[in-house]
């Protein structure tokens, strides 16, 4: 009888926590306009704290599901990227690339004060380059935000994410080289993963729109096709040990270039997207180990300060050159604060592929992730509001 009960509790723990997260998200959003994703994270953290049965990393399939959820977000982010814009306004691209390099360098330098091993410092630096597409896209859509800050946050986020994956894969390659001396393995760990992931996403971005041409009626919404394609892409990337996130981003970018039209009624992939987002944020939060929080909190504060300073400084420096006010430049930098979901899933995936330092890095970064997850979306929300780009604008 008691084993039945434990089994039942394990089985329903996840759905119950997700339901709770949804309710809390709606309530706090109505009450104090707390971004919904922040509430999901909060509930996930509490779930991790009380160590709910079933809320562990050991359940197979959950990391995959989380990757699907994030891949959908990355597809949507990719779909919003206008490559031609970079030609008309190279400053935006330049800002993204230079800021990524500077952030990498700064974080690597700062972590040097703290007696961390070099491979960990490199990984932390690579992850700090990224910005969380899930946090940024969900918050921007929730606010129905539109304008230069929003547009730039999304484009810079995509650049940051692509470069973060690249940097991490190079670090992994370097690690393989230094531990095994196997150059082939090292090359496989970096260049191959990045190039093949992009190529696979890009290929699907050409094939799917081409197949859609053969429909008799163009009227039906195509969101389902793209959601299923993202699922296919994620599965394939898993099987081939590629980066599902990078592939999904490339898929979105190419699909847009192929002039596919997704209706705005299906932002965030509609109801399915909402469902997966609740899961994603709760899951990510539950991965954090509370035992590490106290000891890593100060490191977290330091890293966040340096990373934010870098993004804001570049936002400010590029503002006038790229055609916006300094104020919006600063707000753009601030809005890029969230980084957790993307970084954690990247680490998770590296761990699954046998990259040993990933586990240690996740525990070192616990404090940073905790703060970023909870506060990042709030900062993005406040920044976009301050830029007066949200639908409900207080004058």
Site for another protein in 151-190 (CB under 8 A): 151, 155
Regarding 310 and contact with another protein (CB under 8 A), the answer is no
Contact between 270 and another protein by CB under 8 A: the answer reads no
Q: How far is the CB of 80 from another protein (least distance, A)?
A: 5
What is the CB neighbour count within 10 angstroms for residue 289? Answer: 12
Q: Which of 172, 262, 361, 362 binds another protein (CB under 8 A)?
A: 262
Site string for another protein, 127-146 (x = CB under 8 A): -----------------x-x
For residues 243 and 349, the answer to whether their CB atoms sit within 8 Å is: yes
Identify the residue among 51, 57, 179, 263 touching another protein (CB under 8 A).
Answer: 263
Of 2, 31, 32, 88, the one binding another protein (CB under 8 A) is 88
Q: Does 85 bind another protein (CB under 8 A)?
A: yes
* Smaller CB separation from another protein, 198 or 324: 324
214 binds another protein, rule: CB under 8 A? no
Q: How far apart are CA 283 and CA 64, in angstroms?
A: 11
Contact 253, 83 (CB under 8 A): yes
Query: What is the torsional sign of CA 145, 164, 65, 120?
Result: negative
Nearer to another protein, 31 or 84 (CB): 84
Distance CA 236, CA 197 (A): 10
Cβ neighbors of 283 (< 8 A, separation 6 or more) are 44, 62, 65, 66
Find the DSSP H helices in the chain.
2-32, 36-49, 62-79, 83-88, 90-111, 118-129, 133-143, 148-180, 183-187, 193-212, 223-239, 244-257, 270-286, 293-319, 326-335, 340-352, 357-364, 366-386
Residues 315-354, interacting with another protein (CB under 8 A)? 322-325, 328
Q: Total number of residues binding another protein (CB under 8 A)? A: 31
The residue within the footprint of another protein, chosen from 14, 40, 75, 79 (CB under 8 A), is 79
**Sole window of 203-211, 239-247, 365-373, 386-394 interacting with another protein (rule: CB under 8 A):** 386-394
Binding site for another protein (CB under 8 A): 79-80, 82, 85, 88-89, 144, 146-148, 151, 155, 217-219, 256, 259, 261-264, 322-325, 328, 388-389, 391, 393, 395
């Amino acid at each position: 009888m008691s084993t039945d009960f434990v089994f039942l509790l394990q089985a329903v723990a996840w759905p119950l926590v997700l339901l709770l997260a949804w309710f809390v998200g709606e309530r706090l959003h109505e009450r104090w306009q707390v971004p919904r994703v922040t509430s999901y994270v909060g509930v996930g953290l509490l779930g991790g704290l009380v160590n709910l049965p079933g809320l562990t990393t050991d359940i197979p399939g959950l990391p995959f599901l989380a990757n699907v959820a994030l891949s959908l977000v990355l597809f949507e982010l990719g779909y919003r990227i206008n490559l031609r814009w970079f030609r008309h306004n190279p400053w935006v691209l330049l800002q993204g690339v230079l800021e990524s390099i500077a952030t990498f360098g700064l974080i690597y330098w700062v972590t040097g004060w703290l007696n961390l091993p070099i491979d960990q410092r490199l990984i932390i630096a690579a992850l700090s380059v990224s910005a969380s597409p899930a946090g940024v896209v969900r918050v921007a859509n929730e606010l129905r935000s539109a304008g230069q800050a929003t547009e730039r946050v999304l484009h810079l986020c995509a650049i940051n994410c692509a470069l973060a994956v690249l940097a991490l894969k190079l670090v992994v390659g370097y690690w393989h080289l230094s531990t095994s001396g196997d150059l082939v393995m090292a090359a496989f760990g970096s260049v191959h993963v990045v190039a093949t992931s992009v190529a696979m996403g890009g290929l699907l971005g050409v094939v799917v729109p081409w197949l859609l041409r053969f429909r008799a009626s163009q009227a039906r919404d195509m969101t389902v096709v793209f959601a299923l394609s993202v699922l296919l892409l994620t599965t394939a990337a898993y099987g081939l040990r590629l980066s599902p996130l990078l592939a999904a981003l490339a898929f979105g970018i190419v699909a847009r270039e192929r002039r596919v039209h997704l209706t705005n009624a299906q932002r965030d992939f509609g109801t399915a997207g909402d469902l997966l987002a609740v899961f994603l944020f709760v899951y990510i939060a539950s991965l954090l180990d509370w035992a590490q929080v106290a000891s890593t909190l100060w490191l977290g504060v330091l890293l966040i300060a340096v990373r934010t300073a870098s993004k804001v400084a570049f936002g400010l420096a590029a503002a006038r050159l790229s055609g916006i006010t300094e104020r919006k430049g600063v707000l753009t930098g601030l809005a890029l604060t969230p980084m957790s979901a993307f970084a954690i899933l990247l680490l998770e995936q590296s761990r699954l592929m046998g990259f040993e330092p990933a586990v240690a890095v996740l525990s070192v970064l616990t404090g940073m992730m905790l703060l970023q997850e909870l506060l990042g979306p709030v900062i993005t929300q406040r920044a976009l509001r301050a830029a007066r780009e949200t639908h409900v604008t207080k004058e």
